[in-house]
Amino acid sequence: MGFLDFFSKPAGGTRPVTLPNGSFTIGSTGAIVSSTLPSDFPKPLMLEIAEAVSATFQEAGAAQLALSEFSAVYSGFRITARAMRGGAMVYLSTRNLNLK
Amino acid sequence: MSARHKILLLDDDPDMVEIYREILQRLPGQPDIQTTTTANRALTMLEAQPFTMLVTDLSMPKIDGLQLLATVRRRWPHVRTVAMSSIVDDQLRKRAQAMGVDIFCEKPSTSHEIETFLTYVDALLKKALTTPTSSPLGEPTLAEVLRLEGLGRNSSVIRVVYGEFEGRLWVQDGEVVDAVGPGVAGDDALRMLMSWSGTKCEVLPAEPGHPKRITAPAGPAPAGFDTGLRPEPAVAAPPAALPPPSAPRPPQSGGTTLLTLPGRTLNPLKAAPPAAAPPPPPAAAPVAPPLGVTPLAELARCDGVAFILSLRASGAEPALDSWGVENPEALGQWTRGALERFRRVGDQLQAGRVVHFEVIDGAHRISVEVRPEGCLLVGFKRTLVPEQARETMKLILSKWAS
| pLDDT confidence tier of residue A90, bands split at 50, 70 and 90 | very high
B326, B327, B341, B366: which to substitute to probe chain A, counting the most A Cβ within 10 Å? B341
**Vertex A74, ends A73 and A79: CA angle to 5°?**
50
- pTM for the model stands at 0.42
**Between B199 and B123, where is the model more confident?**
B123
Counting Cα atoms < 13 Å in the Cβ hemisphere of B402 gives 7
Residue A16 and residue B333: Cβ atoms within 8 Å? Answer: no
Residue B337 and residue A73: Cβ atoms within 8 Å? Answer: no
- Taking CA–CA distances from A59, the nearest residue in chain B reads B334
B333 touches chain A (CB under 8 A): yes
- Taking CA–CA distances from A56, the nearest residue in chain B reads B338
Question: Which residues of A fall below an 8 Å CB-CB distance to B?
Answer: 16-17, 19, 45, 48-49, 51-52, 55-56, 59-60, 62-77, 79
Per DSSP, helices labelled H in B26-168 are 39-48, 65-75, 90-98, 111-130, 142-152
Asked whether residue B263 carries a pLDDT value surpassing 50, the answer given is no
| pLDDT confidence tier of residue A36, bands split at 50, 70 and 90 | very high
Cβ contacts of A14 on chain B, cutoff 8 Å = none
Q: In angstroms, rounded to a whole number, what is the distance separating the alpha carbons of residues B107 and B88?
A: 9
Show Cβ contacts of residue B324 under 8 Å, excluding neighbours closer than 6 positions.
B300, B305, B306, B307, B308, B379
C-alpha gyration radius of chain B: 23
Show Cβ contacts of residue B293 under 8 Å, excluding neighbours closer than 6 positions.
B150, B175, B176, B216
Range ranked top by mean pLDDT from B4-8, B139-143, B384-388: B4-8
**Vertex B181, ends B177 and B186: CA angle to 5°?**
35
B361 touches chain A (CB under 8 A): yes
- List the one residue out of B223, B242, B236 whose CA is nearest residue B89: B223
Alpha-carbon torsion, ordered A40, A41, A43, A46, to 10 deg: -160
Query: Residue B356: beta bridge partners?
Result: A73, B369
Cβ contacts of B354 on chain A, cutoff 8 Å = 72-74
Read off the pLDDT of each residue in B16-44 and give the average, rounded to a whole number.
Answer: 86
- List the one residue out of A79, A64, A70 whose CA is nearest residue B359: A70
Q: In angstroms, rounded to a whole number, what is the distance separating the alpha carbons of residues B364 and B37?
A: 30
The CA–CA distances, whole Å, from A7 to A4, A14, A72 equal 6, 16, 39
State the CB neighbour count (10 A cutoff) for residue B138.
11
Per DSSP, helices labelled H in B350-385 are none
Strand B80-85 to strand B319-323: parallel, antiparallel, or no bridges (unpaired)? unpaired
Burial (CB count <10 Å: 0-12, 13-18, 19+), residue A34: exposed
Here the ipTM equals: 0.83
Q: What is the pLDDT of residues A41-67, one digit of tens each?
A: 899 999 999 999 999 998 888 887 888
- List the one residue out of B258, B256, B145, B236 whose CA is nearest residue B192: B236
Comparing CB atoms, the residue among A68, A73, A76 nearest residue B361 is: A68
State the CB neighbour count (10 A cutoff) for residue B90.
12
Q: In angstroms, rounded to a whole number, what is the distance separating the alpha carbons of residues B308 and B328?
A: 9
Q: Quick one: how far is CA B106 from the chain centroid?
A: 16
Cβ contacts of B333 on chain A, cutoff 8 Å = 62-63
B352 touches chain A (CB under 8 A): yes
Residue B362 and residue A77: Cβ atoms within 8 Å? Answer: no
- List the one residue out of A16, A8, A19, A18 whose CA is nearest residue A78: A19
Range ranked top by mean pLDDT from B8-12, B121-125, B192-196: B8-12
Cβ contacts of A68 on chain B, cutoff 8 Å = 360-362
- List the one residue out of B210, B214, B209, B217 whose CA is nearest residue B193: B214
- List the one residue out of B224, B266, B260 whose CA is nearest residue B243: B260
User: Smallest CA–CA separation between A11 and chain B, in Å?
Assistant: 21
Q: What is the pLDDT of residues B30-39, one digit of tens each?
A: 888 998 888 8
> Which of B188-192, B275-279, B368-372 comes out lowest in average pLDDT?
B275-279
Report how far apart the first and last C-alpha atoms of chain A are (Å, whole number): 42
Q: In angstroms, rounded to a whole number, what is the distance separating the alpha carbons of residues B105 and B315?
A: 29
Burial (CB count <10 Å: 0-12, 13-18, 19+), residue A56: buried
Query: Across chain B, what does the average pLDDT equal?
Result: 71
Residue A73 and residue B354: Cβ atoms within 8 Å? Answer: yes
Cβ contacts of A59 on chain B, cutoff 8 Å = 334, 337-338
Q: In angstroms, rounded to a whole number, what is the distance separating the alpha carbons of residues B308 and B131?
A: 39
B347 touches chain A (CB under 8 A): no
The CA–CA distances, whole Å, from B384 to A82, B152, B304, B327, B368 equal 20, 20, 6, 23, 16
Q: What is the pLDDT of residues B305-314, one digit of tens each?
A: 888 888 877 5
- Taking CA–CA distances from B333, the nearest residue in chain A reads A63
The CA–CA distances, whole Å, from B24 to B1, B59, B65 equal 22, 20, 19
Comparing CB atoms, the residue among B351, B357, B363 nearest residue A76 is: B351
* Residue B321 near residue B314 (C-beta atoms within 8 A): no
| pLDDT confidence tier of residue A26, bands split at 50, 70 and 90 | very high
The CA–CA distances, whole Å, from B282 to B193, B279, B285 equal 11, 9, 6
Cβ contacts of B361 on chain A, cutoff 8 Å = 60, 65-68
Residue A64 and residue B331: Cβ atoms within 8 Å? Answer: yes
State the CB neighbour count (10 A cutoff) for residue B215.
10
- Taking CA–CA distances from A70, the nearest residue in chain B reads B359
